[in-house]
A = this chain, B = another copy of it.
Amino acid sequence: MKTETPNYRSKCPLSIALEFIGDKWSLIVIRDMCLGKSKYCDFQASPEGIPTNILASRLRELEENGLLIKRPYQAKPVRYEYFLTPKGADLLPVLQQLVKWTQKHVPDCGEPPEGFFTAQPEDLLQKWVDATDTA
């Protein structure tokens, strides 16, 4: 995570949020991590078909911005798994509201997995907390 002095276009909290996740792909990656995906190929396999160079750049940016961390799960060659930080997991309420909005206003859209609306950001941290605790 890099810690450059941020230079936001304004101090408006909405505007700042959009500088973090205001594009068509970042929240797709966050969604996949909420669903328990953690590996590069898992993200690639999602039905939206994210281009591989975009995926690599989004993972890099999200890590630089502290929304996720990567952890090597094998050496030779080193391979990483990606996990949400608390900052990233706290986007869950945003995802929940976006899904509600689409379900209300867009016919024929799909359904989120069971338990999606009742999930809490903390639930999303289980995996890597466990992993680092028992490592």
Contacts and interface: CB of A to CB of B under 8 A. Distances in A.
A9 B99 contact: no
Interface stretch (A13-21, A36-44, A74-82): A13-21
A108 interface: yes
Contact of A14 (B13, B14, B31): B31
Interface of A: 6, 8-19, 22-25, 27-28, 31, 46-49, 87, 90-91, 93-106, 108-112
Given A87-B105, A90-B104, A105-B87, A99 B27 contact: no
Contacts of A104: 90
A126 to B, nearest CB: 20
Contact of A100 (B11, B93, B95): B93
